């Protein structure tokens, strides 16, 4: 086990201001266009006309990591790609969050088999992940639910109704 | 220290495009040696999406590989499935019932239209026009609704089985497909006025990215790339498979060899696909959707065979080498994007960088199809 | 029928003599050298086996007749200690397919490149080298294509363990 790095708590706490800042961050998450494989198409569909992620504030897909705060890892991470993923994560400014979309980003997905030589079994082996969205690929509604879960994590409470199963 | 003016003019610099880049359609990296805005040499570096499909073909049984086929080229997943089940059926001598063949053709052609619509949106985004993406995705969602009602999936289909298909189509699907075709036909003039006649789009793609037919032959480029260079090569016509011989459709090809020609080929292909779907729905026979007596665990005879389909991106081929056991001895997937991409280095020398991106967009690449 | 004029040219250079084991053939049987095969059951029209020294000649015959290179791949026959390299060609006018096969020893897997005749062979040979370790002599840039740049393993060999 590596030694856990102690992150010192903030020197000054502004309770109300923290809440306002967190609400602002939750309502305007800027994702980075990081489509790796099949899940990228469902991410595009989520941002397109029918499902429209812009309703939840995630309209602005920034190509550059320096201008984004949410990295949606959509697709399989190959061992050749792993250093690039870590570099992009390091380039993102704080505060930043990671959403692992799809089975490949969670655990290697359908490409995990004994004797595999090419993929990293889950993006959380490289970078810390905040929300996991399972599916192969997850439906756009599932991705939106993942975004809302992340917003709940930021805000402390959920602003949108939960879809009840009938 | 003085800088020689001549040496400054001769300097080139290396620019890295990707592997994370909005215009590379996935994880593609291109090492560009640039002279100002002009490309001196563009070396594509691939392999960032290598997911070991051919290795997985060897260490699992034939049926267990079926879900993989949906993930090779996920935008046009049914074609990969068709190629794989076709190769296994050819080697095993399984005959597919006619209704299943018609259903395969209908769903494949719907997938082709969906794939071209996605390409159209993405191509325009590469060139800087974001709006057509929203229109194209709207039409594409209608197709995905139809395919979801029959296959259960939106993107990575695993619908074909050895000997047929796993689920039958019903009247709702037939009625929905007919109304979709009517709707898309009425929207084609809108796309024509919005995109094809748009002066900014035309200036970006006309005369850009010339690829000769001889280059296509040397590199094995197929699909809209070779049809945009004047050669009417389509596997459905020259090497017919399934029931394509029964339908009347044209193979569009244009002789200009530029990005506009490849664009027009794909638009026209969507129109021809709708013709095929209508004819198939009109003459859909009744009957079983699966061949009888297909064993649960297939063991093929020793030998090898090749099967070719016309995917949305080009000619997709599967070579199965069997040694008589449950798993394939060797499974080779011949992907169209691999061959199409390989001519990028030769064709992009001397181009401006934005023109090279237009050329890349006109190839219609799906990077996991290159990397498999 | 575009394959007819090719048959006699291939018969002049195809493998003779010592048979190499072929899947499905009985041990000791003569190697099928130039075989017309039914397209409906095999997917190919002409199946040609040549030796490693004659690959470039065979490919030149196809290039002069305007055939298109589709794919190059390898098969690892571990039991016979051989690699088989398979070249697939097709003709755009007729849709016929010609397959050229070469058998090389697994202990010294080398054969000449065809990338100076067909530009597309550049990437196909790099991929075959990645997966099997086959060396294509004269290839301008035989570095990993699909595997990481520093990879020194060949995953599709039958004795590969991760």
What does the pLDDT read at residue C26?
A: 46
Instruction: Lowest mean pLDDT of C47-51, C65-69, C151-155, name the range.
Output: C47-51
Q: Which residue, among C143, C145, C162, would best test binding to A if mutated, counting the most A CBs under 10 Å from its CB? A: C162
pLDDT at C162 over 90: no
Neighbours of chain B (3+ CB pairs under 8 A): A, C
Q: pLDDT tens string for chain A (166 positions)? A: 556 677 676 666 677 888 888 888 888 889 987 888 889 999 989 988 899 888 888 888 888 899 999 999 999 999 999 999 999 999 999 899 999 999 999 998 899 988 888 899 999 899 999 999 999 999 999 999 999 999 999 888 888 888 787 7
The structure's pTM equals 0.91
Q: Which of residues 95-154 of C touch A (CB under 8 A)?
A: 147-149, 153
Question: Chain A partners of B155 at a C-beta cutoff of 8 Å?
Answer: 38, 41-42, 137
Q: Which residue of A has its CA nearest to B144?
A: A45
Contact (Cβ atoms closer than 8 angstroms) between residue B128 and residue A109: no
Rounded to whole angstroms, how far apart are CA atoms B82 and B71?
Answer: 13
Among candidates C147, C149, C161 on the partner chain, residue whose Cβ is nearest the Cβ of A115: C161
Integer Cα distance of A59 and C48 in angstroms: 57
Closest CA to B262 of B213, B309, B221, B229: B229
Give the minimum alpha-carbon distance from A78 to chain B in angstroms, rounded to a whole number: 6
Contact in structure between C129 and C136 (CB atoms under 8 Å): yes
Q: What is the DSSP letter of A130?
A: S
Nearest neighbour of B233 by CB, restricted to C92, C119, C147: C92
Is B308 or A5 the better-scoring residue by pLDDT? Answer: B308
Size of interface A-B (CB pairs under 8 A): 97
Output the pLDDT for position C29. 47
| pLDDT-derived band at C24, boundaries 50, 70, 90 | very low
Distance, CA of A126 to CA of C144 (rounded, Å): 24
Give the whole-number percent of chain C exceeding pLDDT 70.
Answer: 87
Question: Would you call A163 exposed, middle or buried from its count of C-beta atoms within 10 A (0-12, 13-18, 19+)?
Answer: exposed
pLDDT of residue C68: 93
Question: Mean pLDDT over residues B212-227, rounded?
Answer: 93
B/e letters for B271-297, b = 16+ CB within 10 Å, e = fewer, are ebbbebbbbbbeebeeeebbbeeeeee
Provide the ipTM. Answer: 0.91
pLDDT on residue C21? 45
C88–B334 CB contact, under 8 Å: yes
H helices within chain A, ranges in order?
15-27, 38-47, 82-91, 103-107, 140-155
pLDDT at C103 over 80: yes
Contact status, residue A43 vs residue A75, Cβ threshold 8 Å: no
Nearest to B303 among C23, C70, C122 (CB): C23
Phi/psi region, residue B25 (left: phi>0; alpha: psi -120 to 50; beta: rest), is left
3-state SS, residue B60: coil
Which of B180-189, B256-265, C100-109 has the weakest average pLDDT? C100-109
Q: Give the residue with greater pLDDT, C15 vs A144.
A: A144
Q: Which residues of A13-29 are buried (b: 16+ CB within 10 A; e: fewer)?
A: eeeeeeeeebbebbeeb
pLDDT bin (cut points 50, 70, 90) of residue B232 is: very high
């Amino acid at each position: 086990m590596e030694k856990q790095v102690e992150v010192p708590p903030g020197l000054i706490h502004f309770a109300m201001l923290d809440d306002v800042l967190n609400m602002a961050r939750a309502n305007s998450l800027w994702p980075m266009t990081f489509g790796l494989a099949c899940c990228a198409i469902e991410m595009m569909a989520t941002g397109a006309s029918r499902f429209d992620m812009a309703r939840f504030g995630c309209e602005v897909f920034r190509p550059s990591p320096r201008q984004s705060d949410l990295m949606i890892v959509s697709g399989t991470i190959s061992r050749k790609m792993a250093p690039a993923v870590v570099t992009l994560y390091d380039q993102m400014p704080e505060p930043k969050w990671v959403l692992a979309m799809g089975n490949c980003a969670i655990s290697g997905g359908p490409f995990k088999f004994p004797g595999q030589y090419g993929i990293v079994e889950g993006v959380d082996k490289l970078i810390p992940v905040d929300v996991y969205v399972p599916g192969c690929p997850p439906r756009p509604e599932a991705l939106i639910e993942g975004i809302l879960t992340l917003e709940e994590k930021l805000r402390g409470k959920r602003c949108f109704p939960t879809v009840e199963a009938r | 220290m003085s800088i020689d003016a001549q040496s400054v003019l001769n300097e080139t610099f290396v620019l890295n495009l990707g592997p994370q880049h909005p215009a590379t359609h996935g994880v593609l990296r291109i090492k560009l040696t640039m002279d100002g805005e002009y490309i001196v040499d563009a070396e594509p570096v691939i392999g960032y999406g290598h997911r070991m499909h051919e290795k997985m073909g060897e260490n699992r049984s034939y049926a267990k590989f079926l879900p993989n086929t949906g993930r090779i080229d996920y935008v046009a997943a049914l074609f990969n499935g068709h190629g794989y089940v076709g190769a296994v059926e050819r080697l095993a001598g399984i005959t597919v019932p006619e209704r299943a063949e018609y259903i395969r053709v209908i769903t494949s052609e719907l997938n082709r239209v969906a794939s071209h619509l996605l390409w159209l949106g993405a191509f325009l985004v590469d060139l800087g026009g974001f709006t057509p993406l929203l229109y194209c995705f709207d039409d594409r969602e209608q197709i995905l609704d139809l395919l979801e009602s029959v296959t259960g999936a939106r993107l990575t289909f695993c619908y074909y089985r050895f000997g047929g298909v796993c689920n039958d189509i019903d009247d709702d699907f037939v009625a929905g497909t007919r109304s979709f075709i009517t709707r898309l036909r009425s929207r084609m003039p809108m796309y024509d006025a919005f995109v094809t006649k748009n002066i900014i789009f035309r200036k970006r793609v006309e005369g850009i990215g010339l690829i000769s037919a001889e280059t296509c032959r040397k590199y094995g480029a197929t699909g809209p790339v070779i049809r945009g260079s004047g050669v009417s090569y389509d596997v459905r016509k020259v090497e017919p498979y399934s029931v394509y011989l029964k339908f009347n459709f044209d193979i569009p090809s244009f002789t200009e060899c530029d990005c506009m020609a490849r664009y027009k080929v794909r638009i026209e292909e969507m129109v021809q696909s709708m013709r095929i779907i209508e004819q198939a729905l009109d003459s859909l026979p009744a009957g079983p959707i699966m061949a009888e007596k297909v064993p649960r665990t297939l063991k093929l005879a020793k030998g090898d065979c090749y099967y070719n389909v016309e995917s949305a991106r080009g000619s997709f081929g599967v070579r199965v080498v069997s040694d008589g056991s449950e798993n394939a001895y060797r499974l080779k997937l011949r992907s169209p994007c691999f061959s199409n991409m390989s001519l990028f280095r030769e064709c992009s020398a001397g181009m401006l960088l934005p023109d090279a991106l237009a050329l890349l967009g006109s190839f219609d690449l799906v990077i996991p199809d290159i990397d498999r | 029928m575009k394959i007819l004029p090719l048959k006699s040219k291939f018969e002049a250079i195809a493998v003779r003599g010592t048979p190499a084991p072929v899947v499905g053939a009985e041990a000791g049987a003569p190697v099928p050298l130039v075989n017309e095969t039914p397209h409906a059951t095999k997917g190919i029209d002409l199946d040609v086996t040549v030796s490693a020294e004659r690959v470039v000649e065979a490919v030149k015959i196809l290039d002069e007749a305007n055939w298109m290179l589709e794919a190059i791949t390898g098969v690892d026959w571990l039991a016979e200690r051989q690699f088989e390299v398979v070249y697939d060609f097709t003709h755009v006018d007729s849709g016929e397919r010609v397959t050229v096969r070469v058998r090389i020893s697994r202990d010294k897997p080398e054969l000449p490149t065809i990338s100076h005749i067909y530009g597309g062979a550049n990437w196909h040979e790099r991929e075959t080298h990645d997966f099997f370790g086959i060396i294509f002599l004269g290839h301008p840039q035989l570095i990993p294509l699909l595997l990481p740049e520093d990879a020194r393993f060949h995953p599709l060999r039958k004795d590969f363990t991760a």
